[in-house]
Structure 1
Amino acid sequence: MSTTKQVKLVLVKSLNGRLKSHIQCARGLGIRRINNPVVVIDTPENRGMINKISYLLQVEEV
C-alpha cells in the first residue's frame, strides 16, 4: 500500500486564452481535457502548480 498522498484534479474551465505559463502548469500536471480526471502525487512542486491554476481546477484529496 502506498503511503504517498495523492490529489485528483479535474479541469473545469478551458485553457483557451490563458497565460502561457498557466497552460504549461496544466500540461506539467498531466491535464489534457476538460472533465478528464488526473491523479498526481501531492508534492510541493505539484501543489505550487495547482495553486497557480486553482481557478481552472476542481481539486479533491484521494
Structure 2
Amino acid sequence: MAKKKTAEVKKIAVKQVRSGIGRPTKHRRTLEALGFKRHQQTVIHNDTPAIRGMINQITHMVEVTEVVE
C-alpha cells in the first residue's frame, strides 16, 4: 500500500510590536494565548483558523510573516 503524502502545514511568524500595557484584558489574554511573554518577541505557529482568529483580534499589536522553510 502506498503511503499518503501529508500536506505540509504552513508556518507563520508573529511578532509583538505594541505593548499590552493599557490594553483591554481580552487583548492581553490573547497575547498570552499566542505565547508572548514580552515586547518585541517573535513566536512561530501553524497557520490555522484558530491562530488567525486570535491574530485578527490584535492586528494593531502584532506583525505577521510567513516562514519559508
Q: TM-score, normalised by structure 1?
A: 0.91
Distance in 2 between the 1:32 and 1:22 partners? Answer: 14
Q: How far does residue 6 in structure 1 lie from its aligned partner after superposition?
A: 1.0
1:12 pairs with 6, 12, 17, which one? 17
Displacement over 3 Å in runs of 4+:
none
Out of 21, 30, 33, the residue aligned to residue 25 of structure 1 is 30
| Alignment match of 1:48 (pick from 43, 46, 53) | 53
How many residue pairs get aligned? The number is 61
1:3 and 1:31 map into 2 onto residues whose CA distance is 25
> Over alpha carbons, which structure has the higher Rg?
2
TM-score, structure 2 as length reference: 0.82
CA-based RMSD: 1.2
Deviation at 1:5, TM superposition (A): 0.8
- Could you tell me the percent identity over the aligned residues? 36
Amino acid at match of 1:33: R
